[in-house]
Each structure stands twice: as C-alpha cells, then as structure tokens.
Amino acid sequence: MVRQFGHPRGIAGRMAGWVMAHRRSNQQRNGWAVSLLDVQPTDRVFEVGFGPGVAIAELAGRATRGQVYGIDHSEVMVQQASGRNAAAIRAHRVHLAHASVDQLPSFDDPLDAILAVNSVGFWPNPVERLHDLRRLLRPGGRIALATQPRCPGATQDTTARAAQDLHDLLTQAGFTQIRAETLGLDPPVACVLATNPTDEPS
C-alpha cells in the first residue's frame, strides 16, 4: 500500500488517491503550498505530480483568468483529478495529462509558476528535471517544491534535511532567491521557493 502513494495503480491506487484527497494534513499542505506561490488571476501555472488534484483545484481558484496545467505518471490520479476539476476542465482553464516529469509537455507561452508537492523524491535525475522546468518558466517566474517526510519516525530534523536537499537541487539547477518556509504539522512540511533569474537565459 505504501508504494501506491508513489505510483497509484488499480483498486489500491484508487484507495490511496481517496486518502490523499481527504486526509486533513494533505489538504492543509497543498493549500499552504499554493498560497506561498502567490498565484495571480492571469497566471499560467503548472503542477508536476498532481495526485488526486487537490492543489490543482486550489490553483484554478486563484488563476481565474489564467491557465492551470498538470501532469501525473498515474492514470488513476489523472482520472481522479479530472473528476475533481471537471468544471474547470470543461471551461478550458485546467489541462491535465498522463505523463512523467521526464516527458514534459511543450507550452506556447512561458509559465509564471510551477508547483510540486511530495513528488521530487520520485523524479529521475532531479537536477536535470529542474533544469527542464526552469526552461518553461518566464524570467522572474516562481517555483515551489513542498515536502512532508513520510518515513517512520520523521521529525522536524528530517524535514529540515529534506528542505536543504531541495535547496541544493534548486541551486544546482540555476534558480535564485531561494528560501524555505515551514508549516507546523506532524511531521512539519517544508516548502522551498525559488525564482528563475532575469539576468540570463534559462
């Protein structure tokens, strides 16, 4: 069952998606991470690994005149997120696809913001993936990587180490203005935010 949270499949995957969508801490974590991105009504936003679509719904509620895109490598999660965001999809404001982070879609225009919640740990070659994502962002665009460690016995120190790891990955990928915020759940959630620099091509 634990593996299902990384790549939900079949009946067990649908159960994992239901848990992710309804667990109070997951709802708090996603809403908080979205709030830190400071999404504006006309923004173009992209989420990597959207799971059951909780953060997608939050993003769509903020980018009311913009566009929200997302990919997830689980077909089960695409189905659940599509159901949760059906009205926004019908209105052509939300666009969800079954894809992995090493198969990023192309966009006609640069993105304003990118979000990933508890998914970087599943990425192959995360620095390369972050380089790829950075190329999709406009100069000055924002990225937020949130993590809540789920390993047995996770503590505040576990979260602090995870935040430092994300900080290092973003630095290596060329992001700047990197900072970390913490949400006091058990274990705490860290969200590391960064900016695509404006003084050089991404």
* pLDDT per residue as tens digits for the range 181-190: 999 999 999 9
Q: Which domain holds residue 164?
A: 24-195
Which CA distances in Å does 78 have to 14, 23, 31, 101, 129? 11, 19, 19, 14, 21
The length of the chain, given as a count of residues: 202
- State residue 151's pLDDT score: 82
Residue 131, domain member (yes or no): yes
- Confidence check: pLDDT of 1 > 90: no
Residue 19, domain member (yes or no): no
Q: What is the pTM of this model?
A: 0.88
pLDDT band at 180 (very low <50, low <70, confident <90, very high): very high
Number of domains in the chain: 1
- State residue 13's pLDDT score: 52
Higher pLDDT, 17 or 131: 131
User: What is the token pair recorded at 16?
Assistant: 């994992």
Residue 7, domain member (yes or no): no
- Confidence check: pLDDT of 2 > 50: no
Residue 176, domain member (yes or no): yes
Alpha-carbon dihedral sign for residues 20, 24, 25, 30: positive
pLDDT tens digits, one per residue of 143-178: 999 999 878 889 999 999 999 999 999 999 999 999
pLDDT tens digits, one per residue of 22-56: 566 788 999 999 999 999 999 999 999 998 999 99
Mean pLDDT for the stretch of residues 12-18: 53
pLDDT tens digits, one per residue of 48-80: 999 899 999 999 999 999 999 999 988 888 999
CATH of the domain at 155: 3.40.50.150
Report d(CA 194, CA 192) in Å as an integer.
Answer: 7
- Confidence check: pLDDT of 21 > 60: no
- Confidence check: pLDDT of 199 > 90: no
- Residue 125 gets the label, from left (phi > 0), alpha (psi -120 to 50) or beta, of left
Q: What percent of the chain has pLDDT over 90?
A: 75
Residue 11, domain member (yes or no): no
Nearest one of 9, 199, 180 to 98, comparing CA atoms: 9
Residue 9, domain member (yes or no): no
- State residue 152's pLDDT score: 84
- State residue 12's pLDDT score: 56
Residue 17, domain member (yes or no): no
Omega cis (within 30) before 201: no
Residue 136, domain member (yes or no): yes
